[in-house]
Amino acid sequence: MPYVFILPNMAIFGTFIIYPALRGFWISFQESSDGRNFKYVGTANFKAILTDPTIASVARNTATYVISYVIISTVLALTLSIIVNQQTFLKGMYRAILFLPVMLSPVVVGLIWNQVLDRKVGPLNQLLQALGGGSPGWLVEPKLGMIAVIFVGVWVHIGFYSIILLAGLQGIDKSVLEAAAMDGATRWQSTRLIILPLLKPTTLIIVILSTIHGFQSFDFIYTLTGGGPLGATTLIVQYIYDRAFQTPIQYGLGSAAGVILFLIIFAFTALNFLVGRKKEAV
Amino acid sequence: MKMHKLRSKIALASSVAVAAGLLLALPSAQAADTSTLQPTAKQLAAWKGKTITYYFYNDSQAELDVTKAQLAAFEKLTGATVKLDVIPYTSLDTTLQARLAAGNAPDVARLNNPGLYQNVALDLDVALGKNYKTEFVKGTTNQVLDPSTKHLIGVPYDLSMNGPIINVDQFKKAGIAIPTKWTWNELIADAKAVQKANGTEYAFAIDKSGHRVSTMFSNFHAYMVDANQKNVLSDPLNKRRATNALTILTNLYKQDYAPRDLWVGSGNKYASPSAVFLAGQVPVFFSGNFALANLVANAKFNFQVVPNACETLCGGWPGGKFLMAFNTSKTPDLAAYLVNYLAQPAQMKTMDQQAFWLPTRKDLVAQGITYPSRVTDMNIYLADIAATPAAAYGIQSVPTLTGLIYNNLRDLMTSVMAGKISAGDAIDQQITFIDTQLATLSKK
């Protein structure tokens, strides 16, 4: 009987998640330039990806982005959630402002920041110029392009992570903090020795989620930089998209790259989870 | 922009015929029955209540408005329903190829890269008769003839011509005469002078497109592929000319006379600087007649089309859009009729007039198109069609590769602008790329 209740959900999950995933896995061993005719090529697609001269820079870009994104997002979300949690005045407004970018379409986010970061007419550089800071080529210089993409990525998701951490913070028993205060603990000591350890399970979720988001980042980057300048912000998902959907389309290659991405995310998630559990056990 | 009430008839016949004559000799123009084809009672009975999908992109609001009106008339005539899918130009091929792969193909599409869809196109020789293709100026069907059967698999919907558009107010303010003939050096010198006088952000901007850049190559007498599917860029003279043209163009971007952010900062995507031109931040905008309707609707200043620069050679670079029906259609006869209907003289003429398109039908070319405004501009495009060298049409001999060749040139230019490679390196890499693509094509 319980299986009947979960059947609708499993049917949807199976149709839209499991079947496409299995189909993608199957296509990764095929060659197809039109999506209708397939030819089995064994592991040729995987070999082609690993020997593709652009894959090294894509891997480097993805690693740079994911590591920076996860660290900055986690630290900043922790900081912001602790600050917002301590606010008593206009608490709701601060949370709403923090969460606002999450509600924007990623495509719109990319387009907005594309305008803001324009080297000559963008408001950011106009402000920098007024302050004597020059006109950095955010969308023209490869290194600055990556910085811009990391910044926008963090800006988009930080509200989401902060809200999760806020919920975690509110789950901490206030009497523990009051007792610490009565024992003479400073605010920093309470944060370091009580709040952060108690928030560890929630922080682990943030690390896992931001790792997944980092690897999956594509939409806002595509509208912000298109993967440029000179491929400096082309991450693994755009690599998959370009192989699968840009002329000449190569569905086998795209699917093989998708399988590789799945394995990477799976490995990182498992690693995070295992490390987190091990520390908890200690 | 005020709509001028000019109603002078443009003598299209001579100029387009000259252009076409450069391609192939024109067969005698004769009206075929398909030019005013009407559905039979049997067809009407079969089509009633059917729905077909038209996959469409538009460069201007006028194109969309005219299309909607014509589809409404088509629905009234046939009793069928046409679902209009409006797609952004930047994802035109990406989305269509994904839809074809997923078995969700539209019935009819407006395309600019028909070579990609040869295998799934409906044979219009079968659907509309062998003589149907003779209704169009012969050279315009080059890209929509099946390579093996030479049957028509798409309809040339419009002919396009690239060229510069200038901000007249800014030229006047700078005291620079409106050019009637100029070289690329003069074009650049004028653009820089106008930029300086008006304090605009940039002097020159060109659509981020290998197709548009090919115009400059042609002016410098440099070509990539000839009519025999041969890589001619490897010819030392061609290579030197192309390198020279590329150096001049990319230097404008490197030196900030052109919007480098727009080109380099948009990755591997198409980008148009039309918004920069409309904002009055660049006095010379290199695009084509397809940009005109948008400018007419939105420009708050006087602008004008001026002739392409003459370097070694004059003229522009040919292009156009196509209508194609797909063989996956459940109602192929209805899909073929929609293609025919939209390309009938009455419909094509209205679209040409409202959207500033150039016709592809022999009968319209013979009659001439009466444009409601921008007559001088359209005449300049027509003169440039006539002045375009025959060699510019050579690349149409490889319709499946044109998009790839143009896009690779575009991406190599990005590397030159960013200082990663020299213009000479870019041309060398383009030669290798073309060789590889042609070798792949010959294997197929």
Q: What is the CATH number of the domain that holds A183?
A: 1.10.3720.10
- B429 touching A (Cβ < 8 Å): no
Q: For residue B261, which residues of chain A lie inside 8 Å, CB to CB? A: 118-120, 137, 139-140
**Nearest-10 crossing angle of helices B402-417, B210-219:** 80
Residue B3 lies in a domain: no
Chain A interface disruption, residue of B118, B200, B268, most A CBs within 10 A? B268
Task: State mean pLDDT over A174-193.
Answer: 89
Same domain, B267 and B301: yes
Determine the Cα–Cα distance for residues B224 and B231; give it in Å rounded to an integer.
6
Taking CA atoms, what residue in B is nearest to A144? B265
Highest mean pLDDT among A85-89, A230-234, B423-427, B438-442: B423-427
The answer to whether B415 contacts A230, with C-beta atoms less than 8 Å apart, is: yes
Yes or no: say if B154 and B184 are a contact pair by the CB < 8 Å rule: no
Decide if A233 and B265 are in contact by the 8 Å CB cutoff: no
Please tell me whether residues B169 and B57 are part of one structural domain: no
In a domain, B376, yes or no: yes
Q: Are residues B45 and B145 in the same domain?
A: yes
- CA B144 centroid distance within chain: 14
Nearest-CA neighbor of A209 among A1, A18, A66, A52?
A66
d(CA B263, CA B272): 9
Residues of A in contact with B404 (CB under 8 A): 247-248
| Burial of B287 per CB tally in 10 Å (0-12, 13-18, 19+) | buried
Per the structure, the complete domain to which residue A188 belongs is given by 75-234
DSSP class of residue B108 equals E
Give pLDDT, residue A85: 86
Write down the H helix ranges in B145-209: 168-174, 184-198
Q: What is the DSSP string of B261-310?
A: HHHHTTTTS---THHHHHTT--SEEEEEGGGHHHHHHH-SS-EEE-PPPP
Q: Cβ separation of B100 and A36 shorter than 8 Å? A: yes
Segment A212-237 mean pLDDT: 92
Q: How far is A169 from chain B (nearest CA, A)?
A: 41
Residues from chain B that touch A225, judged by Cβ atoms under 8 A, are: 265-267
Q: β-strands A39-40, A30-31: how paired?
A: antiparallel
Q: What is the nearest CA distance from B201 to chain A, expressed in angstroms?
A: 8
CA distance B216 to chain A (A): 23
Same domain? B218 vs B357: no
Measured distance CA(A132)–CA(B113) in Å, rounded: 48
Structure tokens at B144: 């929509």
Whether B404 has its CB under 8 Å from any CB of chain A: the answer is: yes
Whether residue B175 sits in one domain with residue B150: no
Alpha carbon of residue B91 to chain centroid:
16
Does B264 contact A229 at a Cβ distance shorter than 8 Å? yes
Nearest CA distance, A245 vs chain B (angstrom): 5
Residues B110 and B39 in one domain: yes
Peptide bond connecting A229 to the previous residue in cis, omega within 30 degrees of 0: yes
Q: Which residues of A touch B259 (CB under 8 A)?
A: 120
Closest Cα in chain A to B254: A140
pLDDT at A70 over 60: yes
Q: What percent of chain B has pLDDT over 90?
A: 71
Question: Do residues B296 and B326 both lie within one domain?
Answer: no
Residues B51 and B110 in one domain: yes
Residue A148 lies in a domain: yes
* Number of domains within chain A: 1
**B106-125 residues touching A, CB cutoff 8 A:** 113, 116, 119-120
The tens digit of pLDDT for each residue in A17-49 reads 999 999 999 999 998 877 778 899 999 999 999
Last residue of a domain, one of B389, B405, B421: B389
Residue B246 makes CB contacts below 8 A (sequence gap 6+) with B213, B413, B416, B423, B426, B427
Residue B4 lies in a domain: no
User: Is B261 touching A (CB cutoff 8 A)?
Assistant: yes
**Are the CB atoms for B197 and B174 separated by under 8 Å?**
yes
**What's phi and psi for A218, nearest 5 deg?**
-155, -55
Rounded to whole angstroms, the Cα distance separating A253 from A31 reads 8
Residue B5 domain-assigned? Answer: no
Which two three-digit tokens encode residue B139? 């050279």
Which residues of A sit within 8 Å Cβ distance of B?
A: 32, 34-36, 114, 118-121, 137, 139-140, 142, 145, 222, 225-231, 233-234, 242, 245-249, 251
Q: With CA atoms as reference, report the closest residue to B271 among B413, B424, B154.
A: B413
> Based on the structure, what is the number of domains in chain B?
2
Per-residue DSSP letter, B376: H
Q: Are residues B206 and B328 in the same domain?
A: no
> How far apart are alpha carbons B379 and B128 in whole angstroms?
33
- Residue closest to B70 by CA, chosen among B408, B350, B353: B350
Q: What does the pLDDT read at residue B437?
A: 92
Confidence of residue A274 (pLDDT cuts 50, 70, 90): confident
Instruction: Please report whether residue B1 resides in a domain.
Output: no
Q: What is the DSSP letter of B344?
A: S
Residue B7 lies in a domain: no
Kindly tell me the sign of the dihedral angle through the C-alpha atoms of B86, B87, B89, B94: negative
> Does some domain include residue A226?
yes
What is the separation, in whole angstroms, between the first and last Cα of chain A?
Answer: 41
Domain with residue B73: its CATH number is 3.40.190.10
Q: Is A120 left (phi over 0), alpha (psi -120 to 50) or beta?
A: alpha
Strand pairing class (B51-56; B108-111): parallel
Q: Are residues B268 and B193 in the same domain?
A: yes
The Cα of A264 is separated from the nearest Cα of chain B by a number of Å equal to: 25
Give the 3-state DSSP-derived string for A43-76, with helices as H, strands as E and coil as C: CHHHHHHHCCCCHHHHHHHHHHHHHHHHHHHHHH
Indicate the residue of A35, A120, A242 with minimum beta-carbon distance to B102.
A35
Asked if the Cβ–Cβ distance from B98 to A245 is below 8 Å, we say: yes
- CA–CA distance, A175 with A170 (Å, rounded to integer): 12
Residues B44, B152, single domain; the answer is yes
pLDDT of the residue at B13: 39
Q: What are the chain B neighbours of A222 within 8 Å (beta carbons)?
A: 267
Q: From CA B101, how far away is CA A277, in angstroms rounded? A: 44
- The answer to whether residues B351 and B159 touch, using CB atoms and an 8 Å cutoff, is no
Are A138 and A126 in contact by the 8 Å Cβ rule? The answer is no
What does the CA dihedral B212, B217, B221, B223 come to, rounded to 10 degrees? -90
The whole-number pLDDT of residue B1 equals 39
Indicate whether B6 belongs to any domain. no
For residue A140, give the nearest of B120, B265, B268 by CB distance.
B265
Both tokens assigned to B361? 């039908």
Residue A40 CA to its chain's centroid (Å): 34
CB contact under 8 A, B268 and A120: no
Most A-contacting residue of B266, B429, B440 (CB-CB within 10 A), to test interface: B266
pLDDT tens for each residue of A114-157: 999 998 889 999 999 999 888 899 998 889 999 999 999 999 99
Residue B163 CA to residue B215 CA, distance in Å, equals 8
Q: With a cut of 50, list the residues of chain B below it in pLDDT.
A: 1-32
The percent of residues in chain A predicted with pLDDT above 90, rounded, is 58
Q: Would B330 be classed as within a structural domain? A: yes
Question: How far apart are the C-alpha atoms of A62 and A68, rounded to whole Å?
Answer: 10
Q: Is residue B44 located within the same domain as residue B147?
A: yes
* Chain A residues near residue B260 by CB distance under 8 angstroms: 119, 137, 140
The residue range of the domain holding B37 is 12-159+319-389
